[in-house]
Structure 1
Amino acid sequence: MEEIRVNPDKLLETIRREDEKQQSGHLKIFFGYAAGVGKTYTMLKAAQAAKNRGIDVIAGYVEPHARPETLELMKGLESLPTLEIKHKNMTLREFDLDQALARNPQLILVDELAHTNADGCRHEKRYKDIEELLKAGIDVYTTVNVQHIESLNDLVAAITGVSVQERIPDSVFDEADQVELVDIEPEDLINRLNAGKIYRDEQAQRALINFFSIENLTSLREIALRRCADRMNKLAERVRNVTNAEYYNDEHILVCLSASPSNKKIIRTAARMASAFKGTLTALFVETPGFSAVNEEDKKRLRDHIRLATQLGAKVETVYGDDISLQIAEFARLSGVSKIVMGRYSAKKKYLFSKQTLTDKLIEAAPGLEIYVIPDKDAPYYKPQRPARRSGKFILPDILKSLAILAASTLLGFAFFDMGFSEANIIMIYILGVVFTSLFTSSKGYSLVSSVVSVLIFNFFFTNPRFTFTAYDNGYPVTFLVMLITAFITSTLVVKLKQYARQAVRTAYRTKILLETNQMLQSNKPRREIVEIISTQLAKLLKRDIVFYLAGEEKLGEPVAFLAEDSDDEEDKSFLSDNEKAVAAWTFKNNKHAGATTDTLSSAKCLYLAVRINSKVYGVVGIAIDGKPLDPFENNITLSILGECAMALENERVMREKAEADLLAKNEKLRANLLRSISHDLRTPLTSISGNAGILMTNYHTICEEKKLTLYTAIYDDSMWLINLVENLLSVTRLEDGSMQLNTNAELIDEVIDEALQHIDRKSVLHKITVNRPDEFLMAKMDARLIIQVIINIVDNAIKYTQEGSEIDITTAKSGGDIVVSIADNGKGIADDAKKRIFDMFYTANMEIADSHRSLGLGLALCKSIINAHGGEITVLDNKPKGAIFRFTLPAEEVTLHE
């Protein structure tokens, strides 16, 4: 039997989801199929039960009802004061989000989940308020009806004839922790309506006529029950995905986006299909060369449709081309699409001999795909409207260009006529003139008019009888017609080529920006440089001002502005106001988009996007909107660049943490090596000191003076050895962990050497130490205390490894910009293989030591660290004929003499 293995990626995703759930509040939705089924009543009963269990419950906002049973359940519950907002001489009462966050209860009641807030509230929609409450760790009870769920809006509208404007994304419903269906029989609901328990008499009568019929209520109840079942299926599917007990599924639904008013219904239908087939949903927009000329109303409608598709879980993609059916078919083929959803509006024919519809073309281009055409009887035939042509100075230059080209063509035509060229040659001149008009003017209309005028000019000047608009030859009308058609087709093709060229240049430029950004972020870079790269690239791509807030530990840092090339410097200040900073801070805290063109804090001047990986936010980017929202492609590529930015910042954080961990491991290794190395060496001199001291204490009066002096000397030597060891240990530790700070000053090198020689081993009297001083004063930039320790270590090392009576020479000299100090001895010297490692920590050469104290290999390693910290170098050389020379350099300082 084959073992079923758990999918690790899905398991990690589930763990992450559960962690987020534990940290955030829990949402319970009381769900009904119509008004009056008892959602608010059931919610208040659940709240009273929670209060009886000792939970801190408050009523954040409950719709005011005149029903006695509901009012009775409000008793004993703390109610949050509403937020009053003035609007058109009216006072609107809304849920006060800030006051609720400040109160911070365990559980809060917020009625009417799909409600649209009044202008002046932080969020446009109440479900956004509830999301912020959940993120703050507050549990929420709320209510919603079936007609308010986005994907069911058209289905409910077809049943009731009413299209509800207040809607919530399906994800809000599906991600709720609990959904309780509040259900009663339709007959009982109608009886409640007749009894006046839902609406007043006039409203009740209208409701019975327009909405509350047995047929309508039964259908709505069925939809509500089915939607709850769908939610349970999704929850079960998550469990199957984690345990890998899932079925193979390759359904990929593609829905076509447009600015048509009926496109919303197409998107919702496709979303329901994707959910039913348990497949992925992609929303595709084909941007044609003429899209830039579409009016603002259609562009806004298209943006709304893109937002709807995103809310319903679709991945939005944009492609470019003039042949829409070909672009859709190619995208479907390359992306593995199995089903395409379109609207019937695109399949309408207006005339008997009209051209193929988009659906027919798509069937021919992709015969292997299933194409679903969604009917919408209420949607009128849609044709994109272009904005009115601008007038005045913007058209005059093109008119002058067209006239100049016609005049030049006519002059050249006269020249050809005088030279005896045929009429066919002159016709080609005018066709060429039309091509030039197409190239140098901004609209196709100029070339079309030029085509007609060219025919008239040719007829007037170059056909018999000349200088009239009549023609003797019967073939001339055909010639004129062919000339007009040729000029028209040629001008049309040239205009299209211009559009394709502009589109290709723009696409190539954007692709180049994206590739440049990716290449710039390939190598490891510091955080500030990553921010600068991303912001500069976004400013170049979008031609808008960019504000970047880099995240610190728990809050955003100060904003850094990056202006577009054509931006006004003064305009930048408005993007850095306290209000804009507050919107950026909200985006950072909640890990969601906010600002201009969103439903949250939409009065801001910038659109704020979180630079994030899952729940980790590394910063916030503000994009100046200035009344011009991002188009679909700009939005997609911006999100891609921010994804690259988040990955780069994540890698930088990982590398920084790795470096810190490596340093910590290195320090731990150093400490372990130090402890291993000194455990025995500390015990030996301490044992000697305690033993000699014990002898003196117990036999002080019986020991001769000479023996006492010997014991005292041994105690002193061991003590000095320990002091030296401890000093080196402390210095090495401080240098390794970076806590030692150099206090450099200009010092006379001779004075430093004299001070060091006063602290060397007392056995120096057994050696001849000579200091060779130059005639000039030599000053070096150094920390005198540390350099004294370097000299002591090197001289003590020479005393330790040379026989009694050896010579130790200390020489100072100046070489270029350095002071060179050489310490030479005439001992046995150092082997060549040992020279390579003599400055490594814990390395000791196999050399006989004059005393009984074993070397730990710290002294010379410490010397190297100190000299390197001063910007100098230390080396070991052979001393001729025998011995060794230790030489180090320090930065020289000029001597200033004062009178």
Structure 2
Amino acid sequence: MTSDVPGATPRKGRLTVYLGAAPGVGKTYAMLDEAERRRARGTDVVVGLVETHGREATAAKLGDLEVVPRRTVTYRGTALTELDTDAVLRRAPQVALVDELAHTNAPGSRHAKRWQDVHDLLEGGIDVVTTVNVQHLASLTDDVEAITGVRQRETVPDQVVREADQIQLVDLSPQQLRRRLAHGNVYRPEQIDASLRSYFREGNLTALRELALLWLADRVDDALTRYRSDHAITGTWPARERVVVAVTGGAEGETLLRRGARIAQRAAGSELLAVYVLPTDGLPSATPAAIARQREIAESLDGTFHTVVGEDVATAVVDFARGVNATMVVVGVSRHSRWRQAFLGSTSAEIARLSDGIDVHLVDHEGAGAGRRSRARWSTLSPVRRVLGWAGAALGPIGLTALLLAADRAPHDLSSPLMFFLALVVGVALLGGLWPALAASLVSFGCLNWFFTEPTGRFTVARPSELLALAVFVVVGMAVASVVGLAARRTVEAYRARAEASTLAALSRSVLSGDDTAQAIVQRLAETFGLDAVRLQERSGERRAWDTVAAAHRTAGAAGHHDADTEIRIDDDHRLVLQGRALPASDRQAVEAFGAQAGIVLEHRRLRETAAHAAALEQAEATRTALLAAVSHDLRTPLAAIRAAVDGLTAPDVTLDPQDTAALERTLAESTRRLERLIDNLLDLSRLQTGAVRPVLRATSLEEVVPVAVEPWLAHVHLDVPEDLPLVRTDAGLLERVVANLVSNAVRHAPAGTRVRVAAAQGPDDVELRVVDTGPGVPDERKETMFVPFQRLGDTTGGGLGLGLAVADGLARAVGATVAAEDTPGGGLTMVVTVPRANVRTPAPLGSAP
């Protein structure tokens, strides 16, 4: 199946997929039907693998098609058959039939999934015809489980099916499919009733059918988009309803989005897309909180939110709509006043004019035509600069006139005074902004007319050229004042935006790195904006009270003041409460951005707590898994020995001699003691982990504790406990368990024929008890973890759960003692138990009795 041209790239096979809306719709039958048609046209077709599932019609459809023998795989004693990919590649047909694309191969196969085998066939230049049901598509797993209650274990990545050269939908109505099932054409008779009542309910089949149609519609839509792009088609093809809603961040946004959602819901498979146009200067016309809120609304309505940058809003919206092949644009009626719309037009009207083939739906709302109150043009300047600007506008022309008259009392050239006065107007614009500059240009016009144009002393002009020059001066002065004022405002806004962006970027870095907290954010808010107090509050429900998460106070009096001056909502359950000066709109936007960061901090904190809780659960799960794994073996061993001994002793048809009976009785006793130790250790570990151990500390002699503890192993222990040792302050019963566990561990690891030495010696404030063995010892790197539960330290005897040292360490800590591991000189391990003396005052362990 490779190219015959030398050096040519081998042809890749084409993939055809029969997509079933549900099991039993006949996709395998349809695949075999296509195979017959292709073979009739002279195509070399083989069956790589087809599953008939015992259906007679499907088996008959195989007919005399050539079948490549399957490969047999033995797994856990069971012979399984799989697709023999290598055999199909060697046969090299033009077309291969491979059923059930989502199938999971048996362990030991060439690939884990059958779709990977199909990929190899395609790479080998073989065309493949395959089948898959919609419930096996990976992206629909959760949806299918919600519909049917069944979790699909075998899935195939959507991309594998999407990249098929041809997809054929095989579908039946729910009623037809249920009839096929009832007639025994799908499952065996014993499975029919259960299937009809569960998976094959009419509602389930209808929903699966719709999923298949919608998924296939998406794939067809992708193909349509590629075709339009390849053929440079820019016009709208209304093959699918797509509603674009143009939002501005204003209050009308929710109304527009909900109207657009209702329109989109009229046709199945429709899409809702919200678009917000960000001006090219990067300064948004709406607050971040408002934009975020409208994003949430769009997503809650199963829509998507998009932000595009554009110099002209109407053009950007229409270009976006054409780019997504939209069929309708929903836009609100302009909020500008009617006189402004009359002179400057409106965005909605411009969108309607540019749409050309896209329907435009105008939505009326409460703010339509009411006009938007613009921010004060001079609000970015300080009061001092505004006062100086108006003073310059009033006094500057008078002072300049006096200077010019003093220099030349009878001017005949108007050009020089015009330049000086124009420079004055620019200076006033830089100092005081637009309105003082406009006033300065008008006052300058009067001064020029009165003092420097013939006839002087009157507001008349003798020469038309001078009148034209004065008119041009006023126009140029106003234009220059407007440009300079706009540039000054933009400069201030840019500085402010850069400062806010820098602050928020630093804050974001600290939040993401985990170095910042909610307290740091409110503190920075209070410092940056000069607020008396800032409180970050949250609540657990709409009707619950607000709780303060973090608070910052700049003044002593604000700490006890609870009347909020400003409230800024972060989301439904979080808000910022500000006290102090009234915030201008620009500062409020920055505070809302801070609030968004605070929300991230709270979410980060919640995720950390969730992660900590998950880590604790993971640790508990690991402990439980280790416990179950150990218990499943180590508890079963003594139980099996006990069961065997009991069966041997009680068997009615077996006569035992005294020696065999004694051996079985010893086995029974030893296994029972081993089982008791295991259960005691488990109970002790449980009590330690739950804090249920309550030691009773009193003066105790080690002579009363150690011999009792080592009694079960007395034959393997050399005891060296002097009689004159001082009393120790401990719980005799718990210390006995500590020594017993250590001695048991030492005896188990000591070489055969050697004895474990148990010796005690006194120190200035305590008594040391040493359990010494000459076994293999423990490496230094393992000594840090040897007291962790279920650490067997290489012990494979099955004599314990790896709990002895963990229990010994826990019980020792409970009675105020310590356990440490040291190397035995010459090889082995020495466990050192340090117990405080009774006559030395030491702090009692937490929870101990007096």
TM-score by length of 1: 0.47
TM-score by length of 2: 0.49
